[in-house]
Chains A and B, each alone.
Chain A
């Protein structure tokens, strides 16, 4: 069971308080109608699923009910950082 730091509550809490919301930094296109089916399909369905560093969104569902991002190693499950929506990760796959 993961121990996850919520950047809003500023506390590490048990995984049971959170729910996982998939890959982070998936930005909704500003003009969906201008996209081809393929481009829209990429936004809808395609995710990176990396082995190693992964930026993902978590939701403090039974805590502060805020969304935030986490950088997690999908191999070791180590959580390298938590950061706010709108911020960029300090740890990226390129540097690890």
Chain B
């Protein structure tokens, strides 16, 4: 057992805490104790911790203000190491044994902050400070930014791998109820009773919302007991899913909502087992928003001193947690509801110094109850300034005029250590705003109500500006029944009687946001609007003086609402002050738009299981394990893993590629070409269709023959290429590039379905059905002959660009005599599950010729030696066949205007000086130009040089004994023999001669091996 640490502000057990169960934790390295049911914030307040952080800009000491998602100040870093979590709000962190937390702002400590010195110069850092000060000279911005970010000191992200796992769950429901306060609970019950599949989610650890801190009774029992009964009732429904600790953080299109469920955060920094957090992706037929409201603090001078809190938060700490965050309370209010805090404080046995009401002669039930206790109610007054530094020591109170714009008499000081303020309530309309509904200003409730629904949702209770408990309950019931009915469940009948609860007569609140000071706003001590980003009333007014009028511009200029709390407390006050400065109404000024996320969510939850190996599928060929066993290095091509090269012991990549390439040129090599896309095309109009797609014609291609084709987009640019074989009457096999396979199939389907539905043609992807072993080199025929008896392999019987059915290594095969190396080549296609067997048989058959497996790198070198392009490497979506010096592939006599043909006649595609494919031979034979290098004609030209092209492929050719490159050069085909230059980033300039793009065997004689 740990020793007992004094919790000087602990009253005892609250409605949700058990004071007999103590929990040890630490904050900024110091040991404390809280109790079961505490949040970190309630435990810190119980221990009398006043300063929990420093403000973002001025580094002023800050204390806890709120009790939930609205908290702007108590931003903490939880734990350390791999699982550390930055930027949590202490008000939302449930206490667990051994919890370690640190302030995110404040170095070397929150109590003595060097940056606090800057606070003394606050007036020198007005809004737009960074724009105004650090813009020039431009090159120093990086330096400034580094300093500013360090000074700003948001939390630190972990640098190690997250030890936890996260889940995603896709769900559907009839009715999603957001918020489990009074309105949400009864809405869920009605919807469930109507037979709807219901999900009810609440961000807090317990359902109940405001009732958890309420002293009211419902049906004659305490609010928390009534909540427990209702929760038990909901649990009795099979069709209800209850999600506590679950924040609905985004409302997206078509009633799609995202919920972050924190499954184990309340137990420790990492999950012992299972997923730490789960992202629910919910498609709801109907949604009931019952998200409550935030109490709006009043803005007055030095209202950021620790010890200034929201009135309802003070009540929550007393009633829910059993914590009294001070001794002597001054309450300042514009409304009746805050009087409850004075009653709670008095009830708890500590002194209410005074209630300061901005209205004159208030007479509501709660007001009279307070007066009856003998508490001093000072009406027609305001707290104009808080006094103290690291804790409130007093409040300056002064009489004000009726509309609250000016101080009308002398101020006096009240001795206190806690100032609770209430400027009324702001409905939590965030989720409604996510749908695009435009918030509507309502003078009655002095707040923005949700706008007209844009999706299948409705708001109920306080988030709609309904603040009496009885009315919330009635609205919730109606909303639940209506949502269920619209989702097709029930007829909208209300099944449960609304619980009986006390009603209090209230008088209207005063619409007051900024309390006046004896000095003007620009001269008064700072009156904070947005605590987290240090936006003051004076700053908002200054923005107006500097010409900003739109609320969205002022927001960006001052940073109002930009913090991790998204201005849940400050925004409305800021807009009201802005409206006043502009001399217009709040309705005219409008509000900024709330966007997801309502509160921050972890990247882990958003990623879920889609990390590491599961991030993207990996595709393997049938021979993959053989390659692994041979020690191949792999290259990613789309999702495929392709052997890149096969290094032998001690070989570098350069060595391996040279060896592999020479083996193909001099004897025989073997390549796994299984990843090439393969599309089986059938139908009476197949030939016509293919001919419209490719630039050349397939109408006369006979069975047993193959043809190379290029596909263009309608703009005339090359987008894929490959060989297409006629397998039989009305039956073709189209090969595509490895990366282009899916896109080509979609392309074929597009044209067949949208433009030419009259053509009878059908497409099937067979990429995975076949494996392809390409045997290439002067000895290729000899290798194939050893394992294939039923195909006549002679030149006469089986010529170049033919294919044959046969049996290879005992397996039915299609053998294609096509070549990407320029050598005699046979591409052996067999059903995929025989792939490795056939591969191994070919290796065995080739052993006497030293058959050499080669990878994609060698394939690239060999084809570059032949000047064969690779679509996507030598082309980039802006290259026509003519640019690639491939006019021979354009069908001249085709009757149908094939895709892209018309574009080849456009002025831009026919102009002179387009970039054209040429070869480059470096003047220094061993110098390999980096791919992507820019080409200039004049190496002495001053920067900016006129760039004339770029290198698309570049290798060292072992068989030629020098470096080769393919490049696109402006007017390149007319520049053969000229010298061009590639200036590199490292200062070197490589000179090269423009040559034909075919470096090796220009007459194409090598594949005619007899």
Contacts and interface: CB of A to CB of B under 8 A. Distances in A.
B256 A3 contact: yes
A85 to B, nearest CB: 5
A31 interface: yes
Given A44-B715, A67-B754, A2 B253 contact: yes
A73 to B, nearest CB: 11
Interface in A56-92: 57, 59, 61, 65-67, 76-77, 79, 85-86
A85 B757 contact: yes
Interface string A1-38: 11100000000001000010100000110011101010
B753 A66 contact: yes
Question: Interface size class for chain A?
Answer: 20 to 34
A71 to B, nearest CB: 15
A57 B256 CA distance: 22
Contacts of A44: 714-715, 903
B901 interface: yes
A40 B746 contact: no
A45 B907 CA distance: 15
Interface in B215-265: 252-256
A33 B750 contact: no
Interface in B570-592: none
Contacts of A65: 746, 749
Interface string A42-62: 011100000000000101010
A14 B283 CA distance: 9
B416 to A, nearest CB: 51
A86 B454 CA distance: 31
A33 B902 contact: yes
A96 to B, nearest CB: 16
A57 B755 CA distance: 13
B873 interface: no
B907 A37 contact: yes
Contacts of B255: 3
A89 to B, nearest CB: 15
A73 B99 CA distance: 50
Identify which of B902, B903, B905 gathers the most chain A CB atoms within 10 Å of its CB: B902
A77 B757 contact: no
B714 A86 contact: no
A3 B903 CA distance: 37
A37 B454 CA distance: 44
Given A32-B901, A32-B902, A76-B436, A57 B754 contact: yes
B188 to A, nearest CB: 23
A85 B750 CA distance: 11
A2 B750 CA distance: 22
A31 B897 contact: yes
A1 B185 CA distance: 28
Interface in B518-573: none
B749 A67 contact: yes
B906 interface: yes
Given A1-B253, A61-B746, A65-B749, A85 B903 contact: no
B775 to A, nearest CB: 35
B283 A85 contact: no
B283 A21 contact: no
Contacts of A77: 253-254
Given A32-B901, A40-B906, A3 B754 contact: no
Given A37-B907, A40-B906, A44-B714, A85 B754 contact: yes
Contacts of B902: 32-33, 35, 40
Question: Interface size class for chain B?
Answer: 20 to 34
A41 B907 CA distance: 11
Contacts of B253: 1-3, 77
B903 A40 contact: yes
Nearest to A65: B749
B753 A67 contact: yes
B688 to A, nearest CB: 15
Given A1-B256, A40-B902, A44-B714, A59 B746 contact: yes
Given A28-B755, A57-B754, A1 B749 contact: no
A85 B754 CA distance: 6
A53 B454 CA distance: 16
A35 B931 CA distance: 39
A44 B907 CA distance: 14
A39 B715 CA distance: 13
Contacts of B907: 37
A7 to B, nearest CB: 12
Contacts of A14: 283
A33 B754 contact: no
A63 B757 CA distance: 20
Nearest to B908: A37
Contacts of A76: 436, 454
Nearest to A21: B750
A35 B903 CA distance: 11
Contact of B254 (A1, A19, A28, A59): A1
A40 B906 CA distance: 9
A61 B746 CA distance: 8
Given A37-B907, A40-B906, A85 B254 contact: no
A1 B755 CA distance: 29
Contact of B750 (A27, A37, A59): A59
Contacts of A19: 746
Identify which of B253, B255, B903 gathers the most chain A CB atoms within 10 Å of its CB: B253
Nearest to B255: A3
Contacts of B749: 59, 65-67
Contacts of A3: 253-256, 283
Contacts of A67: 749-750, 753-754
Nearest to B713: A44
Contacts of B753: 66-67, 85
Nearest to A85: B754
Contacts of B256: 1, 3
Contact of B897 (A32, A43, A79): A32
Interface in B885-923: 897, 901-903, 905-907
A33 B903 CA distance: 9
A14 B906 CA distance: 41
Nearest to A43: B714
Identify which of B252, B757, B897 gathers the most chain A CB atoms within 10 Å of its CB: B897
Nearest to B750: A67
A57 B750 CA distance: 10
B954 to A, nearest CB: 33
A59 B749 CA distance: 10
Interface string B749-784: 110011101000000000000000000000000000
A17 B253 CA distance: 16
Contacts of A85: 753-754, 757
A43 B454 CA distance: 35
Contacts of A59: 746, 749-750
B459 to A, nearest CB: 19
B338 to A, nearest CB: 39
B254 A2 contact: yes
Contacts of B254: 1-3, 77, 79
Interface string B686-714: 00000000000000000000000000001
Contacts of B755: 27-28
A79 B254 CA distance: 9
Given A2-B254, A28-B755, A85-B754, 8 more contacts: A3-B254, A14-B283, A33-B901, A35-B902, A44-B715, A59-B749, A65-B746, A66-B749
Which 6 A-B residue pairings sit nearest by Cβ, starting from the closest?
A32-B902, A3-B254, A32-B897, A77-B253, A67-B753, A1-B256
13 contacts: A2-B253, A3-B283, A14-B283, A33-B902, A37-B906, A41-B906, A57-B754, A59-B750, A66-B753, A67-B749, A67-B750, A67-B754, A76-B454
